[in-house]
Amino acid sequence: MLHGALKGGMVDILITDEATASGILAIAERRGR
C-alpha cells in the first residue's frame, strides 16, 4: 500500500497515519520526494 501512496503523492496525506507517515517520509526522502 505504501508504494501506491507514493505514486499518488497527495494520497499520502489521506493515509498519513502516525506509523505510515514515518514510513512514507523515510521512503520519500530516499526517493528524493
pLDDT digits (tens, 9 = 90+) for 1-33: 556 655 666 565 655 566 677 887 888 888 886
C-alpha cell at 28: 520519500
Query: Cα dihedral sign for 14, 8, 3, 33?
Result: negative
Output the CA angle 17-23-25, nearest 5 degrees. Answer: 90
Give the per-residue pLDDT at 9: 65
Integer Cα distance of 27 and 33 in angstroms: 8
Give the per-residue pLDDT at 6: 59
Give the per-residue pLDDT at 27: 84
Give the per-residue pLDDT at 17: 64
Give the per-residue pLDDT at 3: 60
Give the per-residue pLDDT at 12: 58
Integer Cα distance of 15 and 33 in angstroms: 17
Q: Are the C-beta atoms of 33 and 12 separated by less than 8 Å?
A: no
